[in-house]
Chains A and B, each alone.
Chain A
Amino acid sequence: MNILFNYLIFPGFIFTAVAGLFASYVDRKVTARVQWRKGPPLLQPLYDFVKLLGKETMVPVGASKTTFLLAPVFALTSIVIVSTIVWNTLLSPGKTFLGDLIVTVYLLTIPSIMIILSGFASKNPLASIGASREMKLILSYELPYLFAILVPIIKSNSIRLGEIVQYQWTEGPFIGSVSGIIAVIVMVLCTQAKLGLVPFDMAEAEQEIIAGPFIEYSGPPLGIFKLTKWSMLFVVPSLTVLLFFPALNFWGNILGYVILLVVVVLIRNTNPRVRIDQAVRFFWTWVTLLSLISVVLASYGL
């Protein structure tokens, strides 16, 4: 019963969805204010989602129907599980299992993989281009992301999320050290790519390939994909909060998350989109170099 409550209501599905809707609202509102507009009302993401649930579902002729319709469900499920693990750890770090950091990192790539699968399953040439771009993007950002995650592992000498949090509660957050700052910068850059936001939104570049992998989606599956995207906007930065600056209580963590969210949104609004080859070069040279420096510094205890 408690597990069901955890996965479905409090740090699980309902909480993640509500927080994701709110994060999406903040994103759109800040974007509007940056562009000197007024922006949508508070309930706008909810209206969008409910509207999509009421629309007709279309499956293109020749598409793989099962993959096409199940991909959004798997993406949403994995992100809900990640959210449950991350926020349960932030609330009560004593009750975690060994190796949950590895599980989290694996589950965080599932939505991207589902986006790739759905793009190829829809039998649309533009969706295939978007899916292949997403694949190249995963190959480029995963390596620095993992290196950045190595920093808290080296510092706390544990792969258990709860121990990482407890270590920081007693010894001070990792962002206070040189390697921690560098790793957070790398994490923010990778977050931008993981969430598919500008400057790394070439997978669903609206102006050139319409909507990338989502081009053929309509109705409820599109709504679930949108909800997944919005939940990722909540979950991926909160993992960074957990690894580098967890606060002692719930509202402190939310505050840390909101600060990170505003940084992400401001990066999104002040940059142009880069090409996929530029993105791969950027991640494989500068960001990987930065993350390697942070790992080396962390292993020397800095």
Chain B
Amino acid sequence: MKLTLKALTKSIWVFHAACSPCNNCDIEILDLLTPRYDVERFGIVLASSIRHADALLVTGFPNYKTAKKIKYLYEQMPKPGVVIAIGTCACGGNFFRDSYSFVKPLDEIIPVNAYIPGCPPKPEAMIMGVVKLIKALKAKNK
């Protein structure tokens, strides 16, 4: 178990679930793959199928259309896996909190392991969030 956990922290394949965002956070996520930030240095690559993923990046707030789907997605992800909420919308709803289509905050639908606030969060902030998450995972499984 220890070895596979170490390997897991060294090779995180992320699946990007756009849960009705304004696409600003998504563009910042794609920035991470560009030559300036290049997260493949740490083994982080974008997986195209949820079955290959270790981390679920959620952007946007869950509304009536996407709340159910984000739950399905979480159930389809092979465990052990983590959920990372990116952007203020995913963390708590932002100013859509009082909207007619807002269902409930993301962490009441699926368990969220890390919150990265910002509108949109900077790529540096996302890298820092992932680093903190890895450190927390390592500390928990010591």
Which residues in B have their C-beta under 8 angstroms from that of A43? 10
CB contact under 8 A between A41 and B41, given known A36-B35, A50-B4, A58-B78: yes
**A218 close to B (CB within 8 Å):** yes
Instruction: Specify which of B7, B35, B38 lies most central, judged by the most chain A CB atoms within 10 Å of its CB.
Output: B7
Q: Is the CB of B78 within 8 A of A40?
A: no
Asked if B68 is an interface residue, CB under 8 A from chain A, the answer is no
- A: number of interface residues (CB 8 Å): 33
Contact A32 B38 (CB under 8 A): yes
A38 in contact with B41 (CB, 8 Å): yes
**Distance between B86 CB and nearest chain A CB, rounded to angstroms:** 21
Q: In whole angstroms, how far apart are the Cα atoms of A206 and B49 in the complex?
A: 9
Q: Are B38 and A37 in contact (CB under 8 A)?
A: yes
Q: Kindly identify which residue among B8, B38, B48, B76 contacts A38, using a CB–CB cutoff of 8 Å.
A: B38
The verdict on B52 contacting chain A, using a C-beta distance below 8 Å, is yes
Mask of A207-243 contacts with B, CB within 8 angstroms, 1/0 = 1001100111111001000000000000000000000
Is B1 in the interface zone, CB < 8 Å from A? yes
Are A57 and B78 interface neighbours, CB within 8 A?
A: yes
Interface residues of B in 29-74 (CB under 8 A from A): 35, 38, 40-41, 43, 48-49, 51-52, 54
- How many Cβ-Cβ contacts under 8 Å join chain A to chain B? 82
Partner of A217, one of B8, B41, B51, B80: B51
Whole-angstrom CA separation of A39 from B45 in the bound complex: 11
Check B40–A51 contact: CB distance below 8 A.
Answer: no
Tell me whether A28 is interfacial, beta carbon within 8 Å: yes
Q: Is the CB of B43 within 8 A of A47?
A: yes
- Chain A's closest residue to B3 (CB) is A50
Contact of B8 among A28, A51, A215 (CB under 8 A): A51
CB contact between B52 and one of A28, A35, A44, A211 (< 8 Å): that residue:
A211
Q: Which residues of B sit under 8 angstroms from A41, Cβ to Cβ?
A: 41, 43
Shortest CB–CB separation between residue B77 and chain A, in angstroms? 9
**Residue contact A48 to B43, C-beta cutoff 8 Å:** yes
Instruction: Please give me the residue from chain B that is nearest to A40 by CB atom.
Output: B40
Q: A107 an interface residue at 8 Å Cβ cutoff? A: no
Complex CA–CA separation, A218 to B48 (angstroms): 12
Chain A 186-213, CB within 8 Å of chain B: the 1/0 string? Answer: 0000000000000000000011001100
Partner of A56, one of B41, B48, B78: B78
A selection of 11 A-B contacts at a CB cut-off of 8 Å is A38-B41, A43-B10, A48-B7, A48-B43, A50-B3, A50-B4, A54-B3, A211-B48, A211-B52, A214-B52, A222-B52
* Residues of B in contact with A (beta carbons under 8 Å apart): 1, 3-5, 7-8, 10-11, 35, 38, 40-41, 43, 48-49, 51-52, 54, 76, 78-80
Chain A positions within 8 Å of B, measured between CB atoms, are 28, 32, 35-41, 43-44, 46-48, 50-51, 53-58, 206-207, 210-211, 214-219, 222
Top 3 nearest A-B pairs by Cβ distance? A54-B4, A50-B7, A51-B7
